[in-house]
Amino acid sequence: MTSAAAGRGTDDIPRDGPQIALAGRSNVGKSSLINALCRRTIARTSAAPGKTRLANVYRVTVEGGSGPGRWGVYLIDLPGYGYARGGAESAAELKAVADAYFADRGSGLGARGSGRERSGRRTSERSSVNSTRPERRHAALLLIDARHPDLDADAAAANWLTSLGVEYHVVATKIDKLSRRERTGNLKRLEETYGTAVLPVSAASGEGLDHLWTTIATLARNP
């Protein structure tokens, strides 16, 4: 895997391929999940919430697996919501970045459900290249900490995505932190709250990553 400089704001986000936006509360584990998916440390992680200040862009190329051979996708790491160092002004600034990303690209119509692709060797890079090629419609992954299934901030984010016409998949992160009983109960509550199947994943143990790649592949190949 290779990496380069991250995009700045939303003006530098490429428009030449399918995009999957990652949205979630600050410190939900977006950067850790990107690193786990790519099997390489390309996204900086921190225990301090509110670290991501811009929309970081990662170009991921997958080689092998079933399906039509090599394919690629942009993973867009949006600023986390729910916390911002610097108070209300900083929080508004971070929200503006996420709003601008979706407003700039129209409604996202990623298909729900899962395909049967399994990813093979992957390469990735962070990109800041502008493109004049036609825009591609996007989809989103809404990351929710599996330990906290009932937070108002997550429900508000889901409503926000819905209001923008963005179809999203709910991903329950840090599933390895739960006991079996907690896991069963929290996943059930998430499914009831959001009215959809939930993908449980762990960046630490690798659980659920293949299933998540299947979902990403389906979205990328059916823009």
Q: Domain coordinates of the chain in residue numbers? A: 19-221
- How many residues does the structure list for the chain? 223
* CATH code for the part of the protein at 19-221: 3.40.50.300
Per-residue pLDDT at 88: 55
pTM of the model: 0.76
Collapsing DSSP to helix, strand or coil, 37 comes out as: helix
Tens digits of residue pLDDT in 6-52: 444 455 667 677 889 999 988 899 989 999 998 888 876 655 444 54
Distance CA 182, CA 197 (A): 17
Tell me what the mean pLDDT of segment 121-132 comes to.
Answer: 40
Position 102 confidence tier, pLDDT thresholds 50, 70, 90: confident
pLDDT reading at 171 higher than 90: yes
pLDDT reading at 165 higher than 60: yes
Per-residue pLDDT at 197: 95
Tokens 């984010």 belong to residue: 157
Residue % of the chain over a pLDDT of 70:
65
Q: Measuring CA to CA, which residue among 31, 95, 36 is closest to residue 57?
A: 31
Residue 100 structure tokens: 């601008």
Backbone angles phi, psi at 92, to 5 degrees: -65, -35
Q: What DSSP designation does 42 have?
A: -
- C-alpha pair distances (Å), 197 with each of 8, 70, 78: 33, 28, 23
Whether the CB-CB separation of 104 and 138 falls below 8 Å is answered with no
Tell me what the mean pLDDT of segment 74-100 comes to.
Answer: 68
Q: Does 134 or 80 have the greater pLDDT score?
A: 80
Cα torsion 203, 207, 208, 212: sign: positive
Distance CA 204, CA 170 (A): 19
Please spell the DSSP secondary structure of 124-192, one letter per residue: EEE------SPP--EEEEEEEETT-TT-HHHHHHHHHHHHTT--EEEEEE-GGGS-HHHHHHHHHHHHH
